[in-house]
Every structure is written in C-alpha cells, then in structure tokens.
Amino acid sequence: MAEGTQLIRGLEGVVAAQTALCDLDGANGRLAYCGYDIDELARLATFEEVAYLLYHGDLPKGGPLDQFTVALIAAREIPDALVRAFRLMPKDTDPMRVLQAAVAVLGMHDADATDNSRAANVRKAIRLTSQMATAICAHHRVRNGEDPVPPASDLSHAANFLYMLTGKRAGGAAVKAFDASLTLYAEHEMNASTFTTRVITSTLSDMHSAVAGGVGAIKGTLHGGAGEAVMRTLFEIGEVDNVDKFSDQAIATKRRLMGFGHRVYKAGDPRAAILRGMAEDACQQSGQFKWYEMAVKLHGRIGAAKGLIPNVDFYSAPLFYSLGIPVDLFTPVIAAGRIAGWSANVIEQHEDNRLIRPRGDYVGQKRRAFAPIAKR
C-alpha cells in the first residue's frame, strides 16, 4: 500500500460520488429526495411521481405525469420466455435469486440494453420499474402452481402490484400504505446496493447488469434482507407476552437483532417513524394487531437496554405482513421500490463517470519463490 494511505473499513464516511438525488442528514434524522422531504412524499405523492422525480429532478406537472404513467403501464408485460424460465426453476428457490436472474433476462429482451445514453437509460428505468414488479408477482404465482395474473392497466403501480400478487384488488388503505412503502424504499444515497449499481456502471457496463448486482446486494441481512429477518424474529417470539423474556435473553446472549441501528442515522431513521404509523393501521385493519404490538414492545425493550433505534426495515415487517405479502417476498418488494433509486443512480453515474476502483491493503505473505510441486 502506498505511504500515507490507510484502510477505511466499510468506507465509513468516505464520499464516493456526487448526487442530486438523495439528501441524507443522518445527524438530524432527515431525508429528502431531490429536495422534497420524505415525510411529505410518503404522505402526498404517489410512487409514480417519486420515480419521475428521481429520473427528472422535479415533480411532474399533470401532462408529463400522465405520459409517464402511461409509459409505466405500457411496460408492465414481461417476455413469455421469462415466465417459461420461472417454470424451470426449483419451487423452493429464494425469490431474490429469481429476481437477479430475471433482471439479466429482461436485459436480453430490452432493445436499449447496451445503450447508455440518458434517453435510453430513462426508457430502461421505466421498463425495469414496471417489469420487476411483474416478474416478482409472476414468479410467485408460478411457484404456487398458478398462472401469472396479467397486469391491470387501470390500476396504479402499487395497486397493480398487489393485484398481480393476489389476483384481488386491494382496498384503498392497503394500496396507499403499499404505495408509500415503495416511496420510502425508493432511494437512499450510497447504501450498499445503490453503491453496487454505481461501481458496476462505472466500468461502462449497463443498467440491467448494474441492477442485477444491486439485487444481489440488497438481499443481505445487513441491508434489505433485514425486513424478512425481523418478521422471522416476530414469528419466533410468537405472542406479545413473550417479548420481555425474548428480549432479556437476546440481550444476555448478545444476539444480533436485525432491523436496529444504521450506519448513517444516529438519531433515528425518519422512514421508521412513518412506517410505524402505517404498520399500526395495517395491523389493526388485518385483525392481527399483535404483530404491531410485539414490534413496539421489542423496540421499547431493545431500545432501552442497548440504545438501538429501529431502521426502515423494522416496522416494514409487520406492515408488509399485514398487507398479505409473503415473508420471503419482503426483500423483492423492497427491491421493487429501490429500483427507482438504483436506475436514477445509474443514470447519474453514466453522466459523470469515473471508474470506481479503490485499493487493497496487502497483508499476506511476503514475496516468495515458486517451488515445483515435489519441493513444496
């Protein structure tokens, strides 16, 4: 390693890129996309408007939003070859592995796949946003031995997702909560999966290749995979009355609980507060309020004992569960939101690119002479 350099574990605090997408103020627990506070976006904007905002830098007026919405709806179909590929996959396959393969396959069928111009990238971003949703739902149906539900062109992105997943039209409150969830997950600066898409893009690779990498990254339990891990913890606890005992044991054994803590937010994750409110309503609505109660109690106990604060993935778990989303689709759903940010970051990276290529600190064996096999 060159003199004067030193290892920065996890690249903590290193600024890897300029961005006009996400304004993340960890010290004050504030988050904004393109200047708009996440709280207002989650309450007042649709996911379609948020995606437009990320691709174009401003919220759309009526005409452009209509055009954008039409483009998203028109892009919902996935190639029949992809559905046929789903049928070849083992039934118990992790849906995130399916999604990673599906993104690569969607690239094979995308006429703009290798065109890295801004115009082509926006077209691909729209297609990936719609097609990833369809692919997630189609695969879920196929693995259950059902036929995919064709997208409904009169439904919003969020409503259509729930429809393709279940074959039923969800109520207004559920659709709003799901739509807001997609918005809350849409973008988050240089998180590991978005950073992955930037590193891949920086070689002058393309959006599909980059997004497939992002899918691989968000899968981890230190990232989007935390939501599923939280729900499995709640299942393990089982009942509200068990939370105290479980918490005591987790604290005593120093068990790592997912959904707590964040690299950047030290005073609280603003998304968690919004999701908590939505989880409360949704658990009430679903008639299974206990998941919300357990989460609140766990939050209180772990927070008090260890000073840990829930992150975005903590309250999304009981929320998604109450919305009827299968637990192993929590992370795909998160990816279906984050695609807006991933693709916007790919666009930004292509517009002002420099190969992302850090160094390693070699700590291995010193130079040594090769010995032929008989002399080793």
Amino acid of residue 216: G
What track of x and - describes contact with a copy of itself for positions 160 through 189 (by CB under 8 A)? -----------------------------x
Q: In which residue are the tokens 């599906």 written?
A: 102
- CB hemisphere CA count around 133 (13 angstroms): 32
140, 157, 188, 223: which one is catalytic? 223
208 is catalytic: no
Instruction: Print the binding letters for residues 276-305 with a copy of itself: x by CB under 8 A, - otherwise.
Output: ------------------------------
Question: Which residue in 355, 339, 347, 357 sits closest to 100, CA to CA?
Answer: 339
Of the candidate residues 121, 181, 209, 322, the single one contacting a copy of itself (CB under 8 A): 209
| Least separation in angstroms between CB 69 and a copy of itself | 12
Radius of gyration, alpha carbons of the chain: 22
Cα dihedral across residues 30, 35, 40, 45: positive or negative: negative
The residue count for binding a copy of itself (CB under 8 A) is 115
**DSSP code per residue over 64-85:** HHHHHHHHHHHT----HHHHHH
Q: To the nearest whole angstrom, how small is the minimum distance from the Cβ of residue 244 to a copy of itself?
A: 28
Out of 262, 269, 299, 350, the active site residue is 262
The single residue among 28, 67, 77, 94 that binds a copy of itself, judged by CB under 8 A, is 94
Q: Is 371 in the site for a copy of itself (CB under 8 A)?
A: yes
Between residue 64 and residue 93, which ones bind a copy of itself under the rule CB under 8 A? 65, 81, 84-85, 88-90, 93
Are the CB atoms for 369 and 220 separated by under 8 Å? no
Residues of span 113-152 touching a copy of itself by CB under 8 A: 113-114
User: One symbol per residue from 212 to 241: x for binding a copy of itself (CB under 8 A), - otherwise; what is it?
Assistant: xxxxxxxxxxxx-x----------------
CB 285 to a copy of itself: min, Å? 26
Which residue among 101, 122, 136, 234 contacts a copy of itself (CB under 8 A)? 101
Q: Are 132 and 336 within 8 A, CB to CB?
A: yes
State how far the alpha carbon of 289 is from the alpha carbons of 239, 266, 282, in Å: 11, 29, 8
Which residues in 210-290 belong to E strands, given as ranges?
A: none
Q: Which of 29, 36, 180, 230 binds a copy of itself (CB under 8 A)?
A: 36
Q: What is the DSSP string of 281-344?
A: HHHHHHT-THHHHHHHHHHHHHHHHH---B-HHHHHHHHHHHTT--GGGHHHHHHHHHHHHHHH
Instruction: Read off the tokens for 343.
Output: 């693709």
The smaller minimum CB distance to a copy of itself, of residues 213 and 318, is found at: 213
| Marked catalytic residue, from 112, 208, 313, 350 | 313
Return the residue of 169, 232, 263, 301 that touches a copy of itself, per CB under 8 A: 263
139 tagged catalytic: no
Q: Which residues are catalytic?
A: 223, 262, 313
